[in-house]
Every structure is written in structure tokens, then in C-alpha cells.
Structure 1
Amino acid sequence: MKSPNVPHVAPHSSHPVVIVGAGLAGLACAVTLRNAGIHALLLESTDSVGGRVKTDWHDGFLLDHGFQVMLMNYPTAQKLLDYEALDLKRFYPGAMIRRQKKWYLMADPQRYPLDATRALFAPIGTLTDKLRVAFKGRGGYDLSKHGEQLSTLEALRADGFSERIIDCFFRPFLGGVFQEKDLSTSVQKLDFVMNHFSNDDTAVPAKGMGEIPRQLASHLAGYQFRFNTPVISIEGQCLRLADGETIEAESIVIATDAHQAARLLQRPGPPPAFHSSICLYFRASQVPSRRPILWLNAEPTGPINHLALMTNVSNDYAPPGEHLVAANVIDPQYAQAPDLEEQVRQQLREWFGEITLDWKLLRKDHIARAIPAQNQIGEADLHPRPGVYQCGDHQGVASIETALATGVQVAQRIIQKSNS
């Protein structure tokens, strides 16, 4: 006897708070809610926490999802994270700059005045440029005074910096931060970035950037995480999943990147723009230096914009006796280049010689949506409609700090609502 045809009924559940996305913003929101005694369900489209901040174990190497760093004086990070447990490892406050087929050290004059003095006559800018950089590092960057609608390039020129130091320092350095070398990013981000880098230590957790979201998630014992669970749509207070399941929530928090947030909020118009990046990780038996410093390309040729010898910063990034090199490409013309690895290797040989011949490619990360394009930075919109909130790095100057801070701010609004 055949069983009667019973129509399938998709499961349905209800929760006080549902957070879409278990990246830094979503985790910061969840931790703040938990501390206030409010339970939340976290829905994550991938198989682990972290969003764009993740680290993979690969044959004994620790590979972050693209080259990433954090700045240690981010105020929200200081409140939420246990820096001692992360065992943060610092970069040298400066950079090695490739110019006219030579390397020149540019150091922070406040922390390494002797090194900075030696660089005064390096061909990476005029003496006035270098003194201006030193002065602003001490007194603070406020190039937004020339006009908040200006691009970074326009603001640097308006402030009197020469084309040489723009091309030799700001373009490769800020290009690495913004993931674009045209310096079309808003001057507001320029001020934010330079003020933090001038007065702060740049670091990575000893065991990779993925330790940051893992530490946050460790505070959420008893919280329910559902991984590999993409949200298809949000209608009112109801979320619909790919398998047809629906979930109702008194408060919905969209803690995704800008692209997914716009989709879930059904924003009209084209999706938000992003800058992409490519990181090529090499294993090496020898490296050209043991200094934990960033290497910048100020020459007009070659795909590499910046390079980091990660094991100089933290030995844990590679097995004993080996090194990890991260070569970073931000020019979009190389995204589909079939010979990109060959071009990168040629550039590495020109820079460092024969020691690079035995470097082995471990992985090539192409991060299509590495960071939001922010030619203009508007006001945060944390509560786009009743019962629905959003947080993430796109709700301010794109950074780890903005992701964490907006996650906390959204949680505080929900807490205030529950107490009223």
C-alpha cells in the first residue's frame, strides 16, 4: 500500500534575536548581547566563524585569508579582546621601500629617530616631505580640513606633499591598506589610517588573524551557531533559508559584508563596489632579512605592491626551520593573468636574488571582495527599518575597529529596546 502524499511543510522557529553573519561584527554583537543576558541565534553561510578574517592550517603553515593586520590601540578591540591571550606580535614601525632598484628604510621618527634620520636623504621624497610626515605623525593628520569630499590623492596634493613622496610612499603604503593605488579613497579614511599607523603598533596574533574571531566565539558557550546556512531573503521579521525553512525574530541583525547587506535589505541600484586583492604565499628556506617589516614597491613595474615575511613577525606561521612569505597584488589588471606566479617570481628574483629560486608557492588567495570601495563615507545606518539592524566595516571607515564597534552599537540598541 502506498503512503499518502503528504505536502512538505518547511520547518519554522522563532528567536528573540537572529544575527546573520558570524564575522567580527556579528560576533561582537553576540558577545555584547550575551553579557546582557540576551540570547541570539547566529546564521553563517560558510563553515566557520570569522567572515573575511580567517586563518587556515596548510602543511604546518598558517595562511590568513589574504594579508591582514590589526592595530593595537583600536578602542573597541581593546575592550573585547584579550591581547595577552592572542599573543600579539608586532611589526617594525616603518617600511622598506623599493626605489631605483635599491631598498630604503623609512622609519617612524617618534619611535626610531636614528633610523628616520638616516632616511632623510633617501630618494623617496623631498626633505620637506619627510619633515611634514614626521610633524603630522606627532600632531595628527587632518587632511579632511581641505574638504571632506576630496579623495586621498587630492588631499595629499592640497596639503603640499610632492608627487615623489606620493608615488614612493603614500601610493604603495595606502594602496596596500585601501587595496587600490589610484588613491581615490576618501580623505576621511586617509586621516583615520595615518593617525592610527603613526601612533600605534601594527600586529598579528601569533597563530594567525583567525584567532581574533575564534576568541570572540569562545565567549559564546551555549549560543547556537548554524554554519553553511545562507539566508535567502528577509521579509518583515522573517528570514527565509535556502532549504525553505523560515525563522522569525524580534530583532534581526545583518552582520554581513556590504554586498550581502544590500541584497538582504533589497536596496535598489547596483551592488556596493569592492576592491579585490591577491596574496601569494610562498614557503622559503631563506629570507633576505629577519626584520619584521613591510616591504613596499615604489617602482612602476611588477605586480607586487607590498610584501611581508610573516615568520619574521611570528615564528608560528611556519614549521621550524622554514619561513612564510606573503606577496600581495592589488592592481586588478593581474586578476586574470595566467602567468601571474611567473611575474611575481621574476620580481622577487630582481629584489632578493637567488635565495628566492627555491621558494615554493603554497597558495594563491584571490579575495574578490577584500574591502569596500569608499570614495565617499556617509553616515552609519545601523537601524535601516523597524526590527532590522545592520553592522559591519561598511558602516564607517572600513576597518576591524568599525566592524567591532558597530556590532557593539547594534547590540546596545537591542538591549535598550528590551529594557524599555
Structure 2
Amino acid sequence: MKNNQKVYIIGAGVSGLIAAINLEKEGLSPTIIEADNAVGGRVQNDIVNDYILDRGFQVLLTSYPAAQKYLDYKKLDLSYFLPGAVIFKNKTQKVIGDPTRSLQLLIPTLFSGIGTIKDKFKILQLNRLLKKKSIDDIFKTKEQTTLSYLEDFGFSENIIHDFFQPFFSGIFLETKLNTSSRMFEFVYKMFGEGLAAIPKKGIGEITKQLHQQLKNTTILFNTKVKEVSHQKITLENGDVLSGDYIIVTANHSDLIPNLKSQKTAWKSCYNLYFELNHKNINKPLIGLVPDKNSIINNIVFSSSLQTNPNNNHIISVTVVDNQNLSEEELIIKVSTELDLFCNIKISKFLKMYFIPKSLPDINHLQYESNPSETQLTQSIFLAGDLQLNGSLNAAMLSGEKAALGVLEAAEKTIIN
């Protein structure tokens, strides 16, 4: 009887695909409704001039527990970053990293001039602390801002300004480090226990791999949902679909009437791609610009990661605060800053992405929830990283828990 339950999933992003995988394991054949023409949601890439361009700079942290459960890293053919960063100051490159995990970073880090000797010991102290601290304990710790956390830990203003602020601004997509200290500890721990990686064929390979795991799921592409109510989905074209259970993974407050007053705030960013004649970063490291006047948050050379092999080189630049510039003005300003701060001269502009919903801006972060907590009404369940915290890991866990919530509800219905 449970296998005859009709389940709809709205959104073919990470959460929706994970939900479908878990429902299939229990014999169900769900239907995913997707507004786009492909799976992936925010985790996609495009081919532009034969180059692979991710829609926004994203990395897979290999230590994510949910990613380890659902992804085959070997088949993803990953390129790995070194555990560190290149900091551009006065057109010079200064490397800082974790020499305990990559010995080649020892000498550059010691003589980088980034932070004090005390800061370097503090980093080792933070590494040891978070290695011992469980994820559950991290998300039970009282929250404060990441900036106050770093200050309370004893880090100097120098290393906060030159490393932590530009590095984590690019991750949290906000420049003041107001993000919860829970998220900082979690992300820092994940960086410390694994590596940051990108599939050589683009970040979209992650969602393609999840999609390939589905055998009995129907996906309705180019299908937009207008409203979701009890066991009923109204499409924008006027069609109405009926199902026993509905999992909503995106635009909850826009689609569900009783959530209209609970709008989710989102963090946005711009991602610009340029072609260069030569690369300035020869190692797989993220580039940072700590100058207070710069709008650049991070820089990545695709060729340093063995992606986009070509005679020319591709650079990805992330901008969190566009300072109300027009797209044309933003391209010019980023190009100027690359030359001014990094001595990087572009040869051609390729593409710019504006991602208005890059990360949910939420408080009281959680690591995971019980399946029953995903249930909004008798038939509607919620998923998506905005239910927990802004990460790929959270997106996966929320999809999993929503599917388990549906299965529990279906089991209760059968018993009754």
C-alpha cells in the first residue's frame, strides 16, 4: 500500500534529488516538478566558448558526511585545492596554509608576513579544538558572530583582516563576518578534515551523478508551480496535480499560502569569468584580496585545478557587494582591480552570473532535524538548505529527512 502513495517533489536541486533517491529505496516512484530545463538548481555549470563555467564559484568539501554517503568521489574525477590561500598585497603573492596537511606550505606560511607568530599558534590551537569537537556539539554551542568569535579566540586584527575576512566572506557571502559562529566552526572543521574540490567537468557533475542514481522517478522539466495546498499543486498554466504527499524544496514562502508572511532572506553574489594569456597562481589555491577598497572576494584559476585545459587560462572572480554598479561598470571595476591589486591582466571577458539566491540568510542554525520536523501539514513537507544551514551537506540532509518524514507519515496512514 505504501508503494502506491503518490509523492510530488518540487525542485530538482540537490535536496529534491536526494529526497527522490530515498523514496525510491523504499519502493516509491516520485515525480519531481522542475521549473528549469535541467536538474541541479544552484549546482550547475554551462559551456561557454568551449569552457566549463560553474554558475557561481562553489566547492565540494570532501569531509561533508552527507556527500560521502551519496556521492562517488572517484567517478566525479575531482581536482583538489591545497589547504591554504594566496593573498595579494601590493601586487605580490603571499601564501598561507596548513603545513600539517601539506608540507609545501610550511616555508611560505612561516615567511608570509600574514599574522603574527601568536596567530599561527592560535590556528594550530583552533585546529586541535575543532578536531575534537563533534558536529553535534558545534551546533549546540551558543551562537555569536564569526567576527566576535575570532576576536575572542585571540586572533590579531592583522590576520582577521588579511585572511579570515576575505576567505570566509567568499564562503558566507557577506563581508562583515556576521554569520553564526556555528557555521564558522562547522566549515572550518570540514576544511580541516578533508579537502576542497571541484569536479573537472564542472560543479554540475554532482547533481548529474545524483540524477543518474534515479531509476523510477519522473521529472517534469520546464514546469512552473504557482501554489501548493493540501494534496494539490496548481501549475502556472492552470493545471492541477493531486498527490498524497508533497515535498517542497524551493520558494516555500512563495508557493505555500500560510508561509507568505515568512519570507526567507537570501544572500546574493556575482561571479565573473575572464580569459587570460597566462596564469598568475601556479598552485591550486584560492586567491584573496584583503584591501578594504576592493570588491573582489576570491579568485580562482581553472588551469591550476586541471579544469578547462587550454592554451589560454580562465579566471573566476566572486563579488559579494557590487556597490550598486551596473553590470558594465562592475566588469570594468573588477578588471581594473585585478590589474591594480594582483597584477593580473585580462585579455577577454567571458560571462557574468548574478545569483540572487546564493545562500539563505538564516539564524539559529541546525545541523539536521528529525524527519517529523520537516512536516508542515498532513501532506506537505519542507526541504532545502534553508531549513538547516547554507551548505551542500545541509541540502542533502534536508532532502533525506523530508523523504523519511513522508515515509513515516505514509506508514502511519497505512497502520490507521
1:198 corresponds to which of 183, 192, 203:
192
Higher mean displacement: 399-408 or 112-121 = 112-121
User: 2:165 aligned with 1:177, yes or no?
Assistant: no
Q: Residue 299 in 1 paired to residue 291 in 2?
A: yes
2:26 corresponds to 1:32:
no
Q: 2:334 is matched with which residue?
A: 344
TM-score, normalising length from structure 1?
0.89
Q: Cα offset for 1:202?
A: 0.5
Question: What are the equivalent positions in structure 2 for 1:351-362 lying under 5 Å apart?
Answer: 351-353=341-343, 356-358=345-347, 360-362=348-350
Which residue in the other structure is 1:134 paired with?
A: 124
**Aligned residue in 1 for 2:270:** 278
1:11 corresponding residue in structure 2: none
Decide which of 392, 396, 409 is 1:417's aligned counterpart.
Answer: 409
- 1:386 correspondence with 2:378: yes
Find 2:313's aligned residue among 295, 298, 323: 323
For the structure 1 residues 357 and 390, does the alpha-carbon distance in structure 2 shift closer, same or farther, using more than 3 Å as the test?
closer
Q: Displacement, 1:230?
A: 1.3
334 and 323 in structure 1: CA distance in 2 versus 1, 3 angstrom threshold? farther
In 2, distance between residues paired with 1:238 and 1:145? 36
Matched, 1:253 2:247: yes
How far off is 1:173 after superposition? 0.7
Matched AA of 1:368: P
* 1:139 shift after superposition: 3.2
User: Aligned equivalents of 2:160 and 2:52: distance in 1?
Assistant: 33
Residue 160 of structure 2 corresponds to 166
* CA-CA distance at 1:406 after TM superposition: 1.3
1:125 matched to 2:115: yes
Change over 3 Å in CA distance of 1:173–1:414 after alignment to 2: same
- Cα-to-partner distance string for 1:264-319 (whole Å, 9 max, x where unaligned): 2332436211111111111223111321110011111222111000121133x25x
CA shift at 1:147, angstroms?
6.3
**SS of structure 2 residue aligned to 1:158:** helix
Letter in structure 2 aligned against 1:292 = P
Which of 349, 355, 380 aligns to 1:367? It is 355
Superposed displacement of residue 117, structure 1: 4.6
Compare 112-121 and 224-233 and name the one that shifted more.
112-121
Number of residue pairs aligned between Structure 1 and Structure 2: 400
Residue 102 (structure 1) aligns with: 92
Contact 1:144 1:155 in 2 (8 A): no
Which secondary structure does the structure 2 equivalent of 1:339 belong to? helix
CA displacement, residues 83-131 of structure 1 (integer Å, 9 cap, x when unaligned): 1111111011100112344321011132124523542353322221121
CA distance in 1 between partners of 2:168 and 2:185 (Å): 11
Shift of 1:387: 1.4
Following TM superposition, by how much is the alpha carbon of 1:246 offset from its aligned partner in structure 2, in angstroms? Answer: 0.8
Note the C-alpha offset of 1:225: 0.8
SS at match of 2:148: helix
Give secondary structure in 2 for the equivalent of 1:184: coil
The question of whether the paired residues in 1 share the 8 Å contact of 2:295 and 2:322 is answered with no
Letter in 1 for 2:401: Q
Residue type at the aligned position of 1:264: L
Equivalence for 1:4 = none
Gaps of 5+ in 1: 1-13
1:402 positional shift = 0.6
Q: Deviations over 1:162-189 (max 9, x none)?
A: 2221111111011000001111111111
In the superposition, the TM-score normalised over structure 2's length comes to 0.90
CA–CA distance in 1 between the matches of 2:143 and 2:281?
Answer: 41
Tell whether 2:92 aligns with 1:75.
no
- Structure 2 counterpart of 1:398: 390
Fraction of identical pairs, as percent: 31
Deviation digits for residues 224-259 of structure 1, max 9, x if unmatched?
111111111112111100111111111100111xxx
For 1:351 and 1:413, the matched residues in 2 are separated by 51
SS at match of 1:171: helix
Give the match's secondary structure for 1:73: coil
The alignment status of 1:265 with 2:294, answered yes or no, reads no
Instruction: Classify 1:218/1:375 alpha carbon distance in 2 versus 1 (closer, same or farther; 3 Å).
Output: same
Structure 1 residues 84 and 333: CA distance shift in structure 2, 3 A: same
Q: Which moved more, 1:175-184 or 1:324-333?
A: 324-333
Aligned-residue offset at 1:414: 2.1
State the AA in 1 paired with 2:254: R
Bigger Cα displacement from structure 2, 63-72 vs 340-349: 340-349
Q: Bigger CA drift: 393-402 or 121-130?
A: 121-130
Say which is worse superposed, 335-344 or 227-236, in terms of deviation. Answer: 335-344
Partner of 1:7 in structure 2?
none
Q: Secondary structure at the match of 1:57?
A: strand
What residue number does 1:211 align with?
205
CA contact (8 A) 2:30 2:216 kept: no
Which one of 377, 389, 395 corresponds to residue 365 of structure 2?
377
SS of equivalent residue, structure 1 residue 22: coil
Q: What is the Cα-based RMSD across aligned positions, in Å?
A: 2.2
| Distance in 1 between residues matched to 2:346 and 2:326, nearest whole Å | 24
Instruction: Please tell me the residue identity of whatever aligns with 1:346.
Output: T
The residue number in structure 1 matching 2:232 is 238
CA contact (8 A) 1:97 1:103 kept: yes
Q: Which whole-Å deviations, capped at 9, do the CAs of 1:55-83 have from their partners, x for residues lacking one?
A: 11112101111111111121111121111
Q: Is the 8 A contact 1:138 1:198 kept in 2?
A: no
Q: What is the letter of the counterpart of residue 247 of structure 2?
A: V
